[in-house]
A and B are shown apart, each in its own frame.
Chain A
Amino acid sequence: MKMIIAVVKPHRLDEVRSALNEIGVHGMTAGEVKGYGRQGGHSEIYRGAEYTVNFVPKVKIEVVTSDELADRAVEAIAAAAKTGKIGDGKIFVLDVGKAVRIRTGEEGDDAL
């Protein structure tokens, strides 16, 4: 099993969800986060004053898939989240040692 962590632009979340649904990934955890990469923040203007905003709002998605689905899931996320502009985000893939479905006690791929 793999855990895919993707940090993407907030307005791409729905596209990412649809793309994952299409390849058979039916669960995800998503949350609003703030951070920065090479973009290093941005500036906003209020009342004619420019304010530096160091942390840019993003959405962080966590998905756990079977080993065979992982690469396709990464491709699906990347394709759906891409705008081609700075700040499109990053995807990380981690190995997952164990998964448990709390209600039934199922483990491994069956728990996904």
Chain B
Amino acid sequence: MTHFRRRAAFGFTAAVAFGSGIGEARAEDALSGGDTAWILTATALVLFMTLPGLALFYGGLVRARNVLSVLMHCFAIACVASIAWLVVVYSLSFDDGGAQQAWIGGLGKVFLDGVGPESMSGTIPETVFFMFQMTFAIITPALIVGAYPERIRFGAVVAFSLVWLVLVYAPACHWVWGGGWLADMGVMDFAGGIVVHVTAGVSALVLSVVLGPRRGFPHEIRPPHSPGMVVTGAAMLWVGWFGFNAGSALAADGNAGMAMTVTHISAAVASLVWAFVEYLRFGKPSVIGIVTGMVAGLASITPASGFVGPMGAIVIGIVSGVVCQYFTTWIKFRIKIDDSLDVFAVHGVGGIIGTILVAVFAAPAFGGLGLAEGVSISDQLQVQLIGIVAVAVWSGVITWILAQIIARTIGLRVSEESEIEGLDIIAHGERGYDLT
């Protein structure tokens, strides 16, 4: 099994660029202390994105009576995803699937069977690779929390996230990064534009349709209760994203350095563009707007981060700042879907933008680090589109079926009375704030 790495970045175009993917560990690789140290660090950074980054980002966007429920969703999902990853999801994602390798990984690494301190995955211990990828499996269902706050049952969150990881995340991760059929086609997804953002974005959209909107949607919705908390969480996401993208180089090298550079540039550009567009539309650049632009810029650069140069990052940042903002309004007010915290518009659309544009801006003519040998921009574009559509359809269909089953068994939604009361007290018996 080949250990896919992005040597294309350095003109080693003989190796096809795949992304974070890795097949079976290659025991003959010597351990690199530098690589190992960096991926251990990146793992901590990516966990930090969810806890507390995303939790605070989402928590500040909801009403005061629901803030704890959102923190709880993110925290509980982190725990559930970690256990699921150990039990079966890692194996399904990255173990050799044998005859089924194109579609799904095997069960050889259930409970990390056969993996010890000596097991290697390229130049790092397999345990480190396992942990690094686990943090991706944590944040992806946590992103979906933004689709259903203020009205979902806690049991539904746990059940959905658990099954979703097995049925949606594991296959998508395997197809792109585990040597599955999309990897065979040469799809480019450096750090999760497809695996993380398309899966989470599309699933969020479908789940919010099945769940239905919050009371009073669209115009009677209460605004974010703590914009300061939103900014705090967003800033943590930015910092954590360095681990997400630069860690996906799976090495402490120049590719990681460039990935970090373009990640940062795209975030800065998209933030300013979002705020500027708001200024043009409403006369005021908003705080919530500038940090949402940051998230859009980061989501968009994610699939492209190891393949493009700074100029590509600037263009990707500009496009995401404009297009993702358009979609936030379009989803909520034109097609009236209450994807409450704009998971699809920001993460889904952002991931799609980057997944498409990487085919263009990876080309050396556009300042990129190179496509695989003999592959033209239009060839790559076709592969990228197939990847987006296949993963989007899979995510959407499975999410829809799963949501229907949960709705008919444990129930998806709380009563109207409970929704008015707020999920903090109803589901958890606590209050976020006691100001008396």
| Residues of A near any B CB (own CB < 8 A) | 44-53
| 17 contacting pairs across A/B (C-beta < 8 A) | A44-B223, A45-B284, A46-B223, A46-B224, A46-B289, A47-B292, A47-B328, A47-B329, A47-B342, A48-B328, A49-B218, A49-B328, A49-B332, A50-B219, A51-B223, A52-B219, A52-B220
**In this complex, what residue of A is CB-closest to B346?**
A47
Complex Cα spacing A21 to B218, Å: 46
A45 close to B282 (CB less than 8 A): yes
Lowest 5 CB-CB distances: which A-B pairs, in order?
A48-B329, A51-B223, A47-B328, A46-B288, A44-B223
Find B278's partner among A48, A50, A53 (CB 8 Å cutoff): A48
Q: Count B interface residues, CB 8 Å.
A: 21
Instruction: Let me know if A47 and B325 touch, CB within 8 A.
Output: yes
Interface of A is mostly: strand
- Whether the pair A48, B220 counts as a contact (CB closer than 8 A) is no
Additional A-B contacts beyond A46-B286, A47-B329, A51-B221 (11; CB < 8 A): A44-B223, A46-B288, A47-B286, A48-B281, A48-B282, A48-B289, A49-B329, A49-B332, A50-B219, A53-B222, A53-B223
CB distance from A36 to the nearest CB of B (A): 14
B10 within 8 A of A: no
Interface code B342-381, partner A: CB below 8 Å = 1, 0 otherwise?
A: 1000000000000000000000000000000000000000
In the assembled complex, which residues on chain A have CB atoms less than 8 Å from the CB atom of B223? 44, 46, 51, 53
B12 contacts chain A at the CB level, 8 A cutoff: no
Query: What is the minimal beta-carbon distance from B96 to any residue of chain A, in angstroms?
Result: 44
Q: How far is the CA of A65 from the CA of B284 in the complex (A)?
A: 43
Contact indicator B325/A51 (Cβ below 8 Å): no
In Å, the complex CA distance between A95 and B218 comes to: 45
Chain B residues with a Cβ under 8 A of chain A: 218-224, 278, 281-282, 284, 286, 288-289, 292, 325, 328-329, 332-333, 342
Q: Which A residues are in CB contact (< 8 Å) with B278?
A: 45, 48
How far is the CB of B141 from the nearest CB of chain A, in Å? 22
Residues of A within 8 A of B292 (CB): 47
Partner of B219, one of A45, A47, A48, A51: A51
Give every chain B residue within 8 A of A51 (Cβ-Cβ).
219, 221-223
For A46, what are the chain B residues with a Cβ–Cβ distance below 8 Å?
223-224, 286, 288-289
Shortest CB-to-CB span from B233 to chain A, Å, is 15
Contacts of A50 in B (CB 8 A): 219
**Cα separation A112 to B294 with both chains bound (whole Å):** 55
Give the chain B neighbours of A52 by CB distance below 8 A.
Answer: 219-220
Across the interface, name the chain A residue whose C-beta is closest to B333. Answer: A49
User: Nearest residue in A to B284 (C-beta to C-beta)?
Assistant: A45
Q: Which residues of B contact A44 (CB under 8 A)?
A: 223
Report A-chain residues with C-beta under 8 Å of the C-beta of B329. Answer: 47-49
Shortest Cβ distance from residue A3 to the other chain B in the assembled complex, whole angstroms: 23
A-side contacts of B222, CB under 8 Å: 51, 53
**Complex formed: what's the CA distance from A53 to B223 in Å?**
8
Task: Across the interface, name the chain B residue whose C-beta is closest to A44.
Answer: B223
Smallest CB gap from A52: residue in B = B219
Please report the C-alpha to C-alpha distance between residue A45 and residue B220 in the assembled complex, in whole angstroms. 12
* Minimum distance in angstroms from A19 CB to a CB of chain B: 29
What's the least CB distance linking A5 to chain B, in Å?
A: 21
Chain A minimum-CB-distance residue to B292: A47
Q: Which residues of A contact B286 (CB under 8 A)?
A: 45-47
A65 to B329 alpha-carbon distance, docked (Å): 52
A55 nearest CB neighbor, chain B only: B222
Chain B positions within 8 Å of A48 at CB level: 278, 281-282, 289, 325, 328-329
CA distance in complex: A52, B216 (Å): 10
Contact residues in A for B332 (Cβ distance below 8 Å): 49
**Chain A positions within 8 Å of B288 at CB level:** 46-47
CA distance A47 to B224 in the complex (A): 11
**Most-contacted residue by chain B among A44, A46, A53 (CB, 10 A):** A46
B385 to chain A, nearest CB (A): 27
**What separation, in Å, do the CA atoms of A46 and B63 have in the docked complex?**
14
* Contacting residues, chain B, for A49 (C-beta < 8 A): 218, 328-329, 332-333
Instruction: For residue B237, give the distance in angstroms from its CB to the closest CB of chain A.
Output: 16
Closest residue of chain A to B278 (Cβ to Cβ) is A48
Residues of A within 8 A of B333 (CB): 49
- Give the complex CA separation of A51 and B325 in angstroms: 16
The chain B residue sitting closest to A49, CB to CB, is B332
* Contact partners of B328 in chain A: CB under 8 A: 47-49
Closest beta carbon of chain B to A33's beta carbon, Å: 14
Q: Smallest Cβ distance from B92 to chain A, in angstroms? A: 36
Nearest neighbor of B331 in chain A, beta-carbon distance: A49
Within 8 Å CB of B289, what residues of A? 46-48
